Copies of this chain bind each other. A is one copy, B any other.
Amino acid sequence: MATLPAKPDMKDRILETADRLFYLQGIRAIGVDTIAAEIGISKRTLYNHFPSKDALITAYLARRFVAPRTSDKSPVEQILGTFDSLERRFSAKDFRGCPFVNAVAELGEDRSVRKVAVAFKESRRLWFRDLLVQLGVADADALATQLALLVDGSIAQDLVRNDPAMARAAKEAATVLLRNAGVKVGGNIATNKRATKKRHSRPAS
């Protein structure tokens, strides 16, 4: 039906721009005019691709929903590596907290927003849980929740303090929790600058 449009990326461009502005400045703070002006298109074009601002918000959150992916590294490396990448993201000047938490804080009781936010948080918690199960942790569920708390805690703290060290604090706490659960964690945790990088395929689960 639809012939390929001349510029196949107009919808993407709109969404990408909306994403950036919504995330950096807040959803309520950005009007559709601002988004259109930023791209240099007319507001009419924007509304030809998205029926309403609400639809754009929904698409924005859907775009941000990137479920954590399991790599071939060891479970411990993956878990602790989460906090390393958090620290990297905190250091970027365009980091402004968790888009889902922010959206819930901003839009309050909006059902659909809350729903996707919960789904996102749960996806990460389950990712942690699976890794913990692989490590043979007894109460993987509870520990996964606690790790998730550390992630969101460091994000919230960095949002207000602008201090990437929050990620390292979370990593140290996570290390203690893992060790307490009987998980063997490589010696020098700290900044993880060049640790022993042995890649054992997978421990007995």
Show the binding face of A for B, using Cβ within 8 Å.
24-26, 28-29, 96-98, 100-102, 104-109, 114, 117-118, 121, 142, 145-146, 148-157, 159-161, 166, 169-170, 172-173, 176-177, 179-180
Number of copies: 2
B121 and A157 contacting across the interface, CB-CB below 8 Å: yes
The complex places the Cα of A53 from the Cα of B146 at a distance, in Å, of 39
Question: Which of chain B's residues have a CB closer than 8 A to the CB of A159?
Answer: 101, 104-105
In terms of DSSP, what is the predominant structure of the interface of chain A? helix
The complex places the Cα of A6 from the Cα of B24 at a distance, in Å, of 46
Question: Which of chain B's residues have a CB closer than 8 A to the CB of A101?
Answer: 97, 105, 156, 159-160
Contact of A169 among B121, B149, B180 (CB under 8 A): B149
Question: 6 more A-B contacts (CB under 8 A) besides A145-B166, A177-B177?
Answer: A96-B105, A102-B105, A105-B106, A105-B159, A106-B106, A121-B161
5 contacts across the A-B interface (CB closer than 8 A): A26-B28, A26-B108, A105-B159, A150-B153, A173-B177
B105 and A105 contacting across the interface, CB-CB below 8 Å: yes
Q: With A28-B29, A106-B105, A156-B98 given, is the CB distance from A146 to B172 under 8 Å? A: yes
